[in-house]
Structure 1
Amino acid sequence: MKLYKYLLFAAVAMGSVSCTDSFNEINTNHHEATDGMLETDNLRIGAFFSQMQQRVILFKDGTGKAESSDYQVAQGLTADLYSGYIGATGTWRSGRTTAAYYMVDGWYNQMFSRGFSEVMTAWQKVHKACEDMNMPVASAVADIVNIEAMHRVTDMYGPIPYTTFGSGTIGSAYDTQEAVYNKFFEELDNAIDVLTPYAETGASALSDYDFVYGGDVANWVRFANTLRLRLAMRVVYANPSLAQTEAEKSISNSIGVIETAAQRAELQHGKLNYFHPYYDIAYTFNDGEARMNASMDSYMNGYNDPRLSKYFKPAASDGKYHGVRLGVQNMAPSKYAGSNVSNLNVDNSSTPIVWMTAAESYFLRAEGALRGWNMGGTAKEFYEAGIKMSFDENSAGSADNYINDNTSKPADYEDPTGDGNSKSAMSQITIKWEDGNFEKSLERIITQKWIALYPDGPEGWAEFRRTGYPKLFPVVTNYSSSVVSSDTQIRRCPFPTSEYNTNPDGVKTGVAALGGADNIGTKLWWDKKN
């Protein structure tokens, strides 16, 4: 809001900077835009569009109003743990935490509340302004950002009040998750159709306010196509025909999907001064509250993965890489946050926040090809391209030897603290591609995709729930064993208590749409494989 007021004041002072009344007089087809529309720095739209981008993934912004702790409670203490990427080493609540399936309301409700209050509310402002000023291109880009944010919300909770949202509050009925996904596809289809003609001409839009692509419409189309492909794959076990249809639309689009590291979606440090939240969480919060997860330890050590040193730092005790399992009780900081467990290799001001890697795009196509869809190549080609791209994106050198390794397997986990939490490896999957067995091929694809997605916890957790891969270590202690077994693992987060307090009628529709109890054991609509 502070930014918006400043920009509004600047607009008044400069007079001619914002849109002129002439825009309302232009007779414009909603599938066409003038050069003036694309080039105008519109403050009414730009301020809220900027807010949307900055709240998809929460981070410290240097103002004191947005802190690393916002990220931690929104996903660091839930999705990032359940994905198998991060191990919690805080000593909060005597071990009764989300890491041990003891669901702390103030920790798991933030993804829900912040998504609506900070992204969808801003999207509503942008959408209204674009309608008033006949600016379909800006509206289409904002729709893409909104879907990127809100699919993370529905994938954590299930039903949400998406199509019914309209007043800036959350006091409305919930949609089924199937209805939400259908709306996502409708909005993505429309956005891609609107943007593609302009992308083909090299046009730009919202350049001054675009912290991801700097106004490059073609890259927004590539991202939208790849996002549509991601969501299509998400629903493959719930609605296979819809999944294939939406996926093949993305591949057949004239602009296509993300294919290079330069095309991936990330917040640009050159356009936005921000700090990566995991620096504070891993290094300054109580001397460190996040470390390498035991599952990452097992897979990356077992594969002798060159990306290991890019993701984590060696433990001071022996110079090797060690993780920690979830749900450990009586966690002594000197053992876990100290010298025995590997810390995260993250820089405060230069590590980027990434929405979608280029590697993910190739792994999505690999799975589509494995399922017999028209992805423009074979599963093996895209699988190997995904690994190579991940190595490139992480400056890990050549991937040739890694791709041809047909002997290395995930390693047994050895507890570096001596607390007795060691466990045999959960998987025996190797790296080198082998044709023939569908499930083994799928496990290879998702395992390598999971490694490449790090540290995107919401996406890694969603893929684990959707496919069962990679096979992750169960929690040591499970305080919710009556609703979900440690082997099945957590399937969702409950609706926030704030919803029961402020929107009781609405949340009742959410529970009904969920089709089960509002607890961590009830599966989401797309979680249909097993």
Structure 2
Amino acid sequence: MNHYIKKMLPNKCRVYVAVAALLIGAASCTKNFERYNTDNTGVSNADLKADFNDLGAYLKTAQMAIYNFSGGGDPNSFQVQQNLNADCFSGYMMSATPFNGGRNNLNYFMMTGWNGEAFKVGYLNIMAPLDKLRRNGIDQSFPAVWAVAQIIKVTGMSRVTDIYGPIPYSKAGSSKADIPYDSQEDIYKRFFLELDSANTSLRAQISNGTKLPFDFSQFDLVYNGDFNKWLQFSNSLRLRLAMHISKADRATAKLQAEKAVNPANGGVITENSGNMNVKVTGNGLTNPLVFLAKNWNDISINASLQCYLTGYHDPRTPKYLDKSTDTSFPAQYIGIRIGSITGSNAKDDYKGYSSINYKGGTFTLNTPVQLMTAAEVYFLRAEAALNGWNAGGAVQQLYERGINISLEQWGVPDAAYATNSTFKPDAYVDPKRPANNASAPSDITIRWEDGAAEAKQRERIMTQKWLAMFPEGQEAWTEFRRTGYPRLFPVVNNNSGTTISTNIQIRRLPFPQNEYNTNATEVNNAIKLLGGADNAGTRLWWDRE
């Protein structure tokens, strides 16, 4: 694993002690990862223990790496880590650029060079800097700070396992070679234990009110040093992970979900002030999604999202989307069907279709990165309540609160939206290529119906949850795979060679090629844990029909 990452970066990288250099350099110098598996060469433990400023930089690096901020105005890594994968597979986005001559992940021609980026970032920029904190005794000296580090690690690495399935986790960092993979079931069990440990430390810190000998807020890019809010996010994250496994291990899912929402454990996020948003801070750092849309014009809106928003007359539409700029048809909100861009498309054919709203000011290069919202938590609770579990409220109450707090988040409160019983998603009409046209993806309406079939109730919850989570495509893709909702348009062109079903759609990314090159025995053992071929059509452990 460390050999894989080491080969990904240029040899000219050097290790810097200064905080500013750590923020930029840690994202690009893979030689740091070699020390993750060996020792602390380069910066002495004594020097770092004497000054938390240096250690705090590792914490900031890991927070930014969850979504992979990019330094120096270069968001290439984020683009292949998430944007040209999960953001598009989730139904949120689609690129008008015909990468690789039009044959790429967006029409299921899986690009080896793209598929390892999330793996690399997880270990180099999340696991490695956080392990540096542990090796310097932060878990013993400042347990509440280590608790935040644990929560960040679970947040980031849960995304990595939900991309690939089995990954090295319990033994990561223990050696240079032959690093074993854990099953996804065991990884999730470990996540819950790590959240237990973090919550114990946070509650102790909150209870005793001990003042830290440094200003923790300057290293906290999310909650400005507020441990109460970190505790609520930790519980909300536990709830998210519990719902992920609700089909694979229902008993554990129920136990963990009810534990998460129990007020005695500190509560979950209930207001938008508790949303998990990572600030964009540091020289040359930007919100990478906005950079791709605004500066490179490399990402547009997916037809699935557009058809739900316009069909529902959703008041968030002008907040989320810009109208088209292609002068060959009237300005409108119009997305691109995934898989419709091929080598035969001229490069600029679809460049004028709708993008995220950076022109109207909703999204700027400095917009904090959204990773979890109060709305998502209400929808998670609504689904848990639909399962018959104690979620601290009735299904309809939680569902409607999820809708309305999302509208409040975006500054478009609308009391009539949640009770509308007539609006339905639109059919898709491509203004330039009628061959891409498609019937409406669903006939689901918005208003809650107690007497509706359970499948319809689940679809309502998941559809509105999906609309509320925008633009966070990684979690949206996970929930689409787990539940089958919302119903999304399939790819127009499927170049997978039958390994991915057009109707079932893509389920994961293959393991990185460099793992085969440097950790072959263990990656082949991981395929056995996966329970299917190492291709993008194989379901993960929690992904049950």
Q: Equivalents in 2 of 1:377, 1:219: separation in Å?
A: 21
Of stretches 46-55 and 456-465 in structure 1, the one that deviates more from structure 2 is: 46-55
Shift of 1:268: 2.5
Which residue matches 1:277?
288
**Are the aligned partners of 1:387 and 1:399 in contact in 2 as well (CA < 8 Å)?**
no
Q: 1:325-353: CA deviations, max 9, x gaps?
A: 11112233333012xx1111134433220
CA apart distance, 1:270: 6.9
**Which whole-Å CA distance do the structure 2 matches of 1:520 and 1:505 have between them?**
21
Q: Does the Cα contact within 8 Å between 2:18 and 2:54 map onto a contact in 1?
A: no
The amino acid of 1:113's aligned partner reads K
Shift in CA distance, 204/407, structure 1 to aligned 2, threshold 3 Å: farther
CA-to-aligned-CA distance 1:329-384 (integer Å, 9 cap, x gap): 2233333012xx11111344332201111111111111111111111111111111
Is 2:514 the partner of 1:498?
A: yes
With 509-518 and 87-96 compared, the bigger mean Cα shift is at 87-96
Residue pair 2:96, 2:348 contacting (<8 A) in 1 also = no
Q: 1:391 corresponds to which letter in structure 2?
A: L
Residue 18 of structure 1: how far off its partner (Å) = 7.2
Asked if the contact 1:4–1:48 (Cα under 8 Å) also holds between the matched residues in 2, the reply is: no
Tell me the residue number matched to 1:420: 435
Q: 1:229 to 1:273 in 2, by over 3 A?
A: farther
1:397-412 residue pairs with structure 2 within 5 A?
398-412=413-427
CA apart distance, 1:207:
2.1
Question: How far apart in 2 are the matches of 1:132 and 1:223?
Answer: 20
Residue 389 (structure 1) shift: 1.0
| Conserved 8 A contact 1:117-1:168 | no
2:468 equivalent among 452, 461, 472: 452
Identify unmatched segments of 5+ residues in structure 1. Answer: 11-15, 21-40
How far apart are the structure 1 equivalents of 2:372 and 2:502? 30
Residue 190 of structure 1 and its aligned partner are, at CA, apart by 1.4
Moved more, 353-362 or 159-168: 159-168
Is 367-376 or 463-472 further displaced after alignment? 367-376
Q: Are 1:233 and 2:240 counterparts?
A: no
Shift of 1:17: 11
Counterpart residue number, 2:491 = 475
1:127 maps onto 2:139 in alignment: no
Q: Residue 354 of structure 1 aligns to a residue in which SS? A: strand
Matched to 1:411, the amino acid is: D
| Alignment pair present for 1:349 and 2:360 | no
Partner of 1:94: 101
The 1:381–1:17 alpha-carbon spacing in structure 2 relative to 1, beyond 3 Å, is farther
Cross-structure match for 2:77:
70
Change (3 A) 1:404 1:271: farther
RMSD of aligned Cα (Å): 2.3
Name the SS for the 2:17 alignment partner: helix
Code of the aligned partner of 1:121: A
The answer as to 2:275 corresponding to 1:264 is yes
1:224 partnered with 2:240? no
- Contact 1:211/1:271 (CA < 8 Å) preserved in 2? no
Shift in CA distance, 310/392, structure 1 to aligned 2, threshold 3 Å: same
Q: Secondary structure at the match of 1:174?
A: coil
- Deviation of the 1:8 alpha carbon: 11
SS for the counterpart of 2:94 is: strand
The answer for the alignment partner of 2:331 in structure 1 is 319
Contact persistence 1:203–1:216 (CA under 8 A): no
Structure 1 residues 74 and 308, CA, compared in 2 at 3 Å: closer, same or farther?
same
Q: Which stretch of structure 1 is more off in the superposition, 121-130 or 365-374?
A: 121-130
Offset, 1:140: 1.2
SS of corresponding position for 1:335: coil
1:157 matches 2:164: yes
**How far off is 1:112 after superposition?**
0.7
How has the CA–CA distance of structure 1 residues 521 and 152 changed in structure 2, closer, same or farther, with 3 Å as cutoff?
same
Distance in 2 of aligned mates of 1:365 and 1:189: 20
User: What secondary structure sits across from 2:349 in the alignment?
Assistant: helix
TM-score by length of 1: 0.89
Equivalent in the alignment of 1:332 = 346
Contact 1:8 / 1:43 at 8 angstroms: preserved in 2? no
SS at structure 2 position matched to 1:355: strand
Amino acid paired to 2:258: E
Structure 2 CA distance for aligned equivalents of residues 45 and 170 of structure 1 = 27
Cα deviation per residue 1:14-47 (whole Å; 9 max; x = unaligned)? xx99756xxxxxxxxxxxxxxxxxxxx7235312
* CA drift at 1:208: 2.0
Indicate conservation of the 8 Å contact 1:204/1:215, yes or no.
Answer: no
Residue aligning to 1:306: 315
Amino acid at match of 1:504: A
Give the corresponding residue for 2:303.
294
User: 1:481 Cα deviation (Å)?
Assistant: 4.4
CA distance in 1, matches of 2:147, 2:251: 26
CA distance in 2: counterparts of 1:503 and 1:167, whole angstroms: 14
| 1:508 aligned residue | 524
Note if contact 2:479-2:485 (Cα within 8 Å) is conserved in structure 1.
yes
Q: Give per-residue Cα distances to partners, 1:390-438, cap 9 Å, x unaligned.
A: 1111112x23111110011111011122352000012110000011321
Compared with structure 1, are the counterparts of its residues 273 and 212 closer, same or farther at alpha carbon in structure 2 (3 Å cutoff)? farther
Relative to structure 1, the CA distance from residue 342 to residue 8 in structure 2 (aligned partners, 3 Å threshold; closer, same or farther) is closer
Once the two structures are TM-superposed, the CA of residue 150 in structure 1 deviates from its matched residue by 0.3
| Conserved 8 A contact 2:139-2:145 | no
Aligned residue runs from structure 1 range 47-196, under 5 A = 47-61=57-71, 63=72, 67-130=74-137, 133-167=140-174, 171-196=178-203
Name the CA distance, whole Å, in 1 between partners of 2:356 and 2:375. Answer: 21
Name the CA distance, whole Å, in 2 between partners of 1:462 and 1:204.
Answer: 39
Deviation readout 1:113-135 (Å, 9 max, x if unpaired): 11011110111111222357532
Give the aligned residue type for 1:175.
Answer: D
- Aligned-partner Cα distance in 2 for 1:175–1:495: 14
Shift of 1:280: 2.6
TM-score w.r.t. the length of structure 2 is 0.87
Cα distance between partner residues in 2 of 1:170 and 1:415: 51
Query: Residues 337 and 202 from structure 1, CA distance in 2 versus in 1: closer, same or farther, beyond 3 angstroms?
Result: farther
Work out whether residues 302 and 337 of structure 2, in 8 Å CA contact, stay in contact via their aligned partners in 1.
Answer: yes
Specify whether residues 165 and 435 from structure 1 end up closer, same or farther in structure 2 by C-alpha distance, changes over 3 A only: same
Q: Distance in 1 between matches of 2:180 and 2:155?
A: 22
User: Displacement of 1:272 after TM fit?
Assistant: 8.5
Cross-structure match for 1:5:
17
The answer to whether the Cα contact below 8 Å between 2:279 and 2:367 also exists between their aligned partners in 1 is no
Moved more, 206-215 or 98-107: 206-215
How far apart are residue 508 of structure 1 and its match? 1.1
| Identity across the alignment (%) | 41
Checking the alignment, whether the CA contact within 8 Å between 1:77 and 1:108 is kept in structure 2 is: no
Tell me if the contact between 1:45 and 1:130 (Cα under 8 Å) persists in the aligned partners: no
Query: Following the alignment from structure 1 to structure 2, what is the Cα–Cα distance between the partners of residues 273 and 379?
Result: 44
Q: How far, CA to CA, are the matches of 2:159 and 2:505 in structure 1? A: 19
Change (3 A) 1:352 1:400: same
